[in-house]
Structure 1
Amino acid sequence: MHITYSLHNISTTADFGFSAADYSRFKFGDGEVARHFGAALAAGFIKEHLTGFLGHEQIVVISSPYSFIPTATFTLKNHFVSTINRWLARHNMPVVQECKVHRTITYKEDYGELDAEQRLQLIGNDSFHIDKMFLTGKTLVFLDDIRITGGHERMIKKMIEEYQLDNPVYMLYFAELVNHNIHPSVENYLNYFSVQTIFDLDDIITSGNFCINTRIVKYILNYEHESFCVFLQNKSEAFINELYDMALGNSYHTMESYQPNLNYIKNQLVTNIKKLA
């Protein structure tokens, strides 16, 4: 059983059914927006699919694949799980378990600006891995923020076939592009609606609800160097350390295009250590 559920269906760019500004902030780490999105997706899923779910099958929630740095969907997933767990507990059912899909390749290209064929070529080089034994006999809920061309979903289904998983599967999305006359680059329109320059990130980072993710790390490291240096001037040491450690965790120091900004961060951290000494 494979069922796809999307909270919002995008059929026109005149009305997405949700705030484009909020979605953009979510993609760049606004944890408060992620909380609202996750709770809303959970409420819709409960209403559409869990209301008659009276068995005691174990549900496993699986966020979108990542290597070291979580995606924006990971934060949405946390609040999705909180809402689902409260419903399950009220109905005396087992609360959610979680599992990770590991991915082996990361890339600097902006997925949101690519068309369907380019997306398939890019993600086709990727490889997904999951713990098959842990999933035996459980209902799987794969979570992602948006479905545009279905490229990621095809990779998940390919993984399911390779691992010979016969579990009931739900594919859940906050939003889905259902009008195929709309170019896939609409995803980038949404992603960058609130972030036109690196300095638009300041409000998100200092909001008190910031959750670092892959998109914001790549965006910062790939930004024009002089502006990047100005941007970093008023950032806390904790943020700079987290940015650097996340970049290393995803092996971004091996990517030539990221090295100027990463080397600047490394030098800043060395300078701070010397000052402390």
Structure 2
Amino acid sequence: MHDHQLTPRRRIRLTRLTSDAGLPHTGLVDATGYSRFKHGDAAVARRYAMALAALAARRLGDAPVRVTTSAFDRVPPAAHSLLAPFVQQLCTLRPDLTVTAFRVVRRGVSNGDYSRMALADRRSAVGADNLTPERDVRGALVLALDDIRVTGTHELAMDQCLLSAGVAQVRHLYIVDAHRFAGSPRIESVLNEAAIGGPDDLLAIAAGPRFVPNARFCRRVLALPPDQLSAFLRAAAPELRGWLSRAIEFDGLAGVSAYADRVRTWDAALADIDRTMGAGVG
């Protein structure tokens, strides 16, 4: 017999960050694996999702469960790659449960790299007023999957959004709890960048068999210096270049001040690649 709700703790985590040097180099959540996950390695995402599902399965009662991830507009964040394997594993471990997934829609995108923002900027970037559940969630028990908790700003916005929509309970599941470093939120960027030294690392992740591109991968490519961006574009598969171009368009990054110059650099580099390839064909 299971309890009828999660344990009183609001959060489940796979690990807690204990050092400002970053994550350890071994274990389920290691520095390289987490960084690769953040940039689209879905094989790592699956491992994290299955581990989170195992923890949740032991704490859930018999009430139906709705599962969601970080809110987004058009281009999903890394955390969204947790959703499908988490739901699949939870259903396997708890076939008695009714488990359904839903999305929280966010209007607009952050004006810059959220992981590098100070607390005040994070509060400006993410608010409950910009979030909307895509379906009726009144009375539901919601599990919200995310990669990391640092300041708790996104968690608070999700709580306000979901509770105002009539959700009965919200429980948050994280890969990393870094709230100890809430006063230095840029630690999040240290974790994100641990495995990314330049374009070759991004290309290696993209060449993997379980690559799922996401918003962070797109923005990290845009952040490359012009010479590295050109090298990336020359080596990238046409399908990847096409996806990145669509992601830039879908999220309207040309109209976001933090990205406008980078998008112009992208357009120029892409046009140069097209001219070079066209000349080669001729």
How far, CA to CA, are the matches of 2:275 and 2:65 in structure 1?
Answer: 46
Q: String of CA shifts for 1:51-110, please: whole Å, max 9, x gaps.
A: xx2x2x321111110111111011122221121011122xx332x211111111213411
- Structure 2 match to 1:150: 152
- Structure 1 match to 2:228: 227
- Structure 2 match to 1:111: 114
- Figure out how many residues of one structure are paired with residues of the other and give that number: 267
| Matched AA of 1:71 | P
Which of 13, 27, 51 aligns to 1:6? It is 13
How far, CA to CA, are the matches of 2:233 and 2:207 in structure 1?
Answer: 13
What TM-score comes out, normalization by structure 2 length? 0.84
Compared CA separation, residues 128 and 182, structure 1 to 2 (3 A):
closer
- Structure 1 match to 2:3: none
Compared CA separation, residues 139 and 266, structure 1 to 2 (3 A):
farther
CA contact (8 A) 2:140 2:167 kept: no
- When the two chains are superposed, the root-mean-square deviation of aligned CA atoms in Å is 2.7
- Structure 2 match to 1:38: 49
CA contact (8 A) 2:126 2:153 kept: yes
Q: String of CA shifts for 1:207-239, please: whole Å, max 9, x gaps.
A: 111110000101112322222011111211111
Residue 64 (structure 2) pairs with residue 58 (structure 1): yes
Compared CA separation, residues 104 and 166, structure 1 to 2 (3 A):
closer
- Structure 1 match to 2:214: 213
- Structure 2 match to 1:93: 97
- Structure 1 match to 2:4: none
- Structure 2 match to 1:191: 192
How far, CA to CA, are the matches of 1:107 and 1:149 in structure 2?
Answer: 16
- Structure 1 match to 2:85: 79
Identity fraction in percent: 23
Question: For 2:235, what is the secondary structure of its paired residue?
Answer: coil
Q: String of CA shifts for 1:231-259, please: whole Å, max 9, x gaps.
A: 11121111111111122111123342222
Once the 2 structures are TM-superposed, how far is the Cα of residue 128 of structure 1 from its aligned partner? Answer: 0.6
CA contact (8 A) 1:244 1:265 kept: no
Question: For 1:8, what is the secondary structure of its paired residue?
Answer: strand
| Matched AA of 1:158 | Q
Question: For 1:169, what is the secondary structure of its paired residue?
Answer: strand
Once the 2 structures are TM-superposed, how far is the Cα of residue 40 of structure 1 from its aligned partner? Answer: 1.1
How far, CA to CA, are the matches of 1:158 and 1:137 in structure 2?
Answer: 15
Once the 2 structures are TM-superposed, how far is the Cα of residue 4 of structure 1 from its aligned partner? Answer: 2.1
CA contact (8 A) 1:9 1:176 kept: yes
How far, CA to CA, are the matches of 1:137 and 1:115 in structure 2?
Answer: 35
Once the 2 structures are TM-superposed, how far is the Cα of residue 156 of structure 1 from its aligned partner? Answer: 0.9
Which of 256, 259, 264 aligns to 1:259? It is 264
- For structure 2, list consecutive stretches of 5 or more residues without a partner in the other structure: 1-7
- Comparing 266-275 with 6-15, greater Cα deviation is found at 266-275
| Matched AA of 1:189 | V
Q: String of CA shifts for 1:150-201, please: whole Å, max 9, x gaps.
A: 01011112213443x1422211111112424772222111100000222211
How far, CA to CA, are the matches of 1:125 and 1:166 in structure 2?
Answer: 14
- Structure 1 match to 2:174: 173
Compared CA separation, residues 132 and 240, structure 1 to 2 (3 A):
closer
How far, CA to CA, are the matches of 1:69 and 1:145 in structure 2?
Answer: 16
Residue 125 (structure 2) pairs with residue 122 (structure 1): yes
Once the 2 structures are TM-superposed, how far is the Cα of residue 271 of structure 1 from its aligned partner? Answer: 8.1
How far, CA to CA, are the matches of 1:73 and 1:6 in structure 2?
Answer: 14
| Matched AA of 1:19 | D
